[in-house]
Homo-oligomer: A and B are copies of this chain.
Amino acid sequence: MSIWPVLADEEMAPSARAVLDDIRAARKTDFINNFWRVLANDPALLKRTWESLSEVMGPGALDPRVKEMLYVAVSIANSCEYCIRSHTAAARARGMSEAELGELLAIVGMASQTNRLATALQVPVDEVFAAPLAGRPEPADD
C-alpha cells in the first residue's frame, strides 16, 4: 500500500488528468505506470515532475538508450527498487542489450568500490584533475 493511493483517471483532479493526457501523447501509449498515478494526488508536483523529466530525457546530445542507462546507474546507487525496475525496462525498450546491462552493472559495482577506497584513504586530488577547464564551454544558447 503506497503512502498516497494509486489513483484511477476518474479519481484525480482535472489538472492531474491533463498531465496524464500529456504523458500518453508523448509516449504514444494509453498505459500510465503507478509512479504518475500516485503523484497525481498532488497535481502541481505531478506537473512539475513530468515537465522536468520529459525535458531532461527528451532529444539531446546523448542517445535515449545511454540516457536511460545513466538513469538506471543512479537509481541503483540510490537504492530505489521502483526506479531500477522501471528504467531498466525503459533502457531495454530503447535498445540496451543484456551485454550492455552487464557492463553497466560492472561499472556501478567498480565505481562503488573505488569511490569508497578514495574516500576512506582521503586521497588528495591531483593537480591535473583540479585544473581549470581549458577554454570554458562556449555558451550553449537556445
Contact = CB atoms under 8 A, between A and B. Distances in A.
Given A76-B119, A117-B109, A137 B83 contact: no
B139 A98 contact: no
A109 B53 CA distance: 10
Contacts of A60: 99, 103
B131 A1 contact: yes
Binding site secondary structure of chain A: helix
Contact of A41 (B67, B78, B109, B137): B137
A12 B121 CA distance: 17
A105 to B, nearest CB: 5
A62 B104 CA distance: 9
* Leading 5 A-B pairs by shortest Cβ distance: A13-B139, A77-B77, A98-B137, A42-B102, A74-B111
